[in-house]
Chains A and B, each alone.
Chain A
Amino acid sequence: MSTATDEAYESYYVPADSKLPIFASLGIFLTVFGMGNILIDMTAGAEHSIGAYIMMVGGLVLGSTLFFWFKTVIEENHAKMYSNQLNRSFVWGMSWFIFSEVMFFAAFFGTLFYVRVFVIDWIGGVGDRGPSNMLWPDYTPEWPLLNTPDPEQFPGAHKPMGWFGLPLANTILLMTSSFTVTMAHHGIKEGNRKKIINWLALTVALGVAFLICQVLEYYEAYAHLGLTLDSGIYGTTFFMLTGFHGAHVTLGTFMLAVMLGRAIKGHFTADDCFGFEAAAWYWHFVDVVWVGLFLFVYILGS
């Protein structure tokens, strides 16, 4: 089948050679290599680790390379080198990246479900596992698991983290921020710069407020509830799920802050605002993950 098209073809921009990716590769390698050495030395009980310096250099190389990378992309875009087709590539790229992030969280949510539904009972000898309770006769299946099978290695928390208070406040903060970021988007569509900047600044503030609340919550957990990373599977799933989410909020807040800076510089028009939209989608994704967390880790989990 032959299909010819009469539409004029907007040439697809293929960049010339670039020094950016090799520095980014070097940067990310040094960062994780340094991190690995820090952890190895930490667990071996060494006082100092050369890994810290390697990681610092790596982080610097990676950070500055990414800065110049995004700068280049933004300048190329302003120089009108990007066709609509190329902008669609960015849209697809970001969407698939968010999908990969969804799958990353799926691994940890899956872990939580598997532990709650199966493992907790099986350790108590329920089901096809047979009498595994011979190892730990005092163990009783419960969730949240405060009395771990082996309390010497894993002293359980005294109390679970409730959903009322800080977690509820955080839910409200994030929900609101999803709304405010949409208002900023409306601002872009209307070409109202003041509206963009105000709503976006409010969104960033809400993100920061969320992070502050999370720090307070972690302090509460460690100081008063005995809920720690090494307090057994409840602490493990609690901190890993909320911790990775917090890391994503941090990144999302940073992205939105960059977009705020760009908005102040006068970037973004109604039909050219992919950077903002990408950050906003990421923010909504982080928001949805939180809803899952609030439901499964806080309300149903405590």
Chain B
Amino acid sequence: MTHEPAAPAPAAPRPRTVDDGSNFRHPLYQVLLDTPGLTVGTAAVDDLLTWGLTNAMWIFPMATSCCGIEFMATMASRVDIDRMGSFVRPTPRQADVMVVAGTITTKMAPRVLKLWEQMPEPKWCVAMGSCAISGDFYRNLYSVVPGIDTFLPVDVYIPGCPPNPEALMHGMLRLQEKIRGQRHGKDFAPKPDAALLKITQPSIPRLVEANRPADLSAAQERASDQPTVDEATPALVVAPEDAPEVAPLVANDFEGLLKEVGVTELPKDGPPLVPAAHHLELARRLKALGYRQLVTIAATHWLAGRGRKGAVADEVEHFEIAFVVRTVGAGSRTAAWAVRVLPGQPLLTLSGVYAGADWQEREQFDLVGVKFAGHPDLRRIMQAESATSFPLRRDHPADAPCAPWR
């Protein structure tokens, strides 16, 4: 696991433990406890304050994905979490409970931590759904945080994929119990079962685990303090190579066009392979012929010795980039073609013909690593700008660690 190079840490980061919330004492609380007349009724005061805390838990919705929809359903008429005095505040400053509902990715995690730190004490965190608890089946993938308890102190876990609204309501009621118990000195600190921990060990140690390196928390904190760099990162500019002049295509249907560019027979094992030189011209002609809608662009990485026909001994490593376009209206037809490029070799961008190719090509660049010459804005789109790998290449391991989040 590689951590970020240690930058000069400005101040020692605030320790984050699971019992963060209960340790906090508002100055006012102390004043109340210290007032002579009130000491007699300390327990009563304490109960009053706890009553307030537990019965007005405003929620900050960290609803990122599917669980967020069930979270919304919990707000809605059938379950109505307003019954217990909870409702959603859009700003972390006024919230008491952060409900993390949904998958947290490595790109999102620094923001989640930042938002958590913006919440005023006392605060609690609820992990809703398997994704928040452990990363669900995305757990081992390169972009997903294997459970938010690797960087947030979680108070209540609500299992399910997604948990029903009733389950969330139940979780909130359990949280009330926990707060009450903590105020009365009950110990809710999790006692990790060593055997269980070994099985469910995420790629980085959880906050509660003893073997968690101190600099990991610091690195996470630093990452969450970093300003977003995306905008500053310049787009990659790939100048188009001098393509040989190609004669304009004239045929009036897809088959005819393919013949013109030299594909005489439609292959059985995939879309026809078009020479890279004719690729742009073909798209232009197809658009004029009524294929006005860009459907998709998908690049496939073939390792050496593999190809569209299966295992081919003398095949070199290459990419096949497939394009699909569509006619509009009744009897809609698709036309698909593919272009074969070698690693490092750029392909002319389609974004001048179909504006939508812009984002599609960015995605293929980001995930597969194909370069598009002449693209106006070739930046990463799915992964963080700082990412260095191309995960959809076949030789990329699915569970590459990306510290400090996984």
Q: Do A and B come from one complex?
A: no
Interface residues of A (CB under 8 A from B): none
